[in-house]
Homo-oligomer: A and B are copies of this chain.
């Protein structure tokens, strides 16, 4: 550190929170349907600093936390120390094995007709090219459907390019259908004999930051190089192909599978007054993709849920035990959720709730509870309403990533949905860094989770039964 060092805050260019987050909402002049204690805790949470501290700490002191990596192991140690220091009970790690994929290096260039480099990133489980790389003709498709319909003879030995665009949506609902290009496109290309596949990034930005993500080789498809182009590079390939000349691409990818590694879930608890009652499970995932530091995906998620649970703990013992889970190896296939389900299937859970959609303002409250429990949702909705959050969707829609695996046991779910309009600008890119988290919106998240837990962890009503998730 040299002389003249000055403290400086990250510039917040993108975001201002129109919602005046620190205004006291539970004025005595406003009659409310929410229990007074939940309103008090909610409003106090609008000054929360813990969620920022956790998000900043994890992304700075660990950085990227790829599933199964040494960094993920360091992150577990970091999490255990932090959760113990915060006063949580029963802090422990439950480990499990995961397949480990090494990213290695990836580079590509247009060889002809217009020589120039391309920016791309290997997708999870991508195969490699060998050290010499490969050179082949490009064949373009504007959708997964077009690839599915293609004659294998038109693909064999070529590099497939699929360029379907994704649009931003508040609920992120385009990720399901458009994301299929990443999830099954590589397998289809492989099965049709392609030498490699390049997809347009599953993302909504216009930066030279490709979006990585998981995919599995289905139905015995042989691994081939499978990569995502940054969106401007996909634009460029479209323009080049439109010239109508044959396009040759050179590709060098050293990605490979590298055996098994240890991953794990970090678990902590706020013990309830009545240990015989089914418990509340909240959390997010500790691992991240390796290109960014996993700030919005998902340091913020573990931070928000932990900060809310800490506020409930500090306010006095809740009726039910609240279990906080920082899941491991979510990104490569929900391994943490599966491991938790298998190890805790005999335990009774009141409901599950997960934060894994960034840290922008929460706008919606959703449920997957028994119809008979819908009246019990009303005080939760009432506690959330002053934060600009409305109950929405149909009962049964609420889910999550890791908890989707645990839902297979037949457990109710509550969900607080962040605004996802810009989430897929950043998701799985090098750009998922701390500066993308807005402290004011992060506090609104903590307030919402605190309000929900203040009501639901003190509610003796059953939220189930619900059918096991298929």
Contact = CB atoms under 8 A, between A and B. Distances in A.
A147 to B, nearest CB: 7
A470 interface: no
A8 interface: yes
A71 to B, nearest CB: 7
Interface residues of A, number: 65
Given A4-B149, A146-B4, A206-B11, A433 B293 contact: no
B434 A116 contact: no
Contacts of A173: none
A4 B145 contact: yes
Interface stretch (A19-27, A59-67, A307-315, A441-449): A59-67
Given A11-B206, A61-B114, A232 B433 contact: yes
Contact of A293 (B2, B116, B141, B293): B116
A207 B206 contact: no
Given A206-B11, A209-B207, A293-B116, A6 B433 contact: no
A242 interface: yes
A206 B140 CA distance: 32
Contact of A115 (B13, B71, B232): B71
Interface string A43-78: 000000000000010011111100000010000000
A56 B243 CA distance: 12
A2 B64 contact: no
A458 interface: no
Given A2-B150, A293-B236, A430 B119 contact: yes
A15 to B, nearest CB: 11
A28 interface: no
A6 B142 contact: yes
Contact of A141 (B2, B113, B434): B2
Interface in A135-160: 139-143, 145-147, 149-150, 154-155, 160
A142 B59 CA distance: 22
Contacts of A117: 63-64
A209 B208 contact: yes
Contacts of A6: 142
A1 B232 CA distance: 19
A244 B430 CA distance: 26
Contacts of A435: 206, 231-232, 235
A110 B4 CA distance: 23
A287 interface: no
A11 B232 contact: no
A434 B235 contact: yes
B5 A141 contact: yes
B140 A1 contact: yes
Interface in A192-249: 206-209, 231-232, 235-236, 238-244
Contacts of A10: 235
Given A1-B139, A2-B154, A4-B141, 13 more contacts: A4-B146, A8-B238, A13-B206, A59-B236, A60-B236, A60-B240, A61-B113, A61-B114, A62-B116, A63-B110, A63-B115, A206-B436, A239-B434
The 3 closest A-B pairs by CB, nearest first: A63-B116, A4-B146, A208-B430
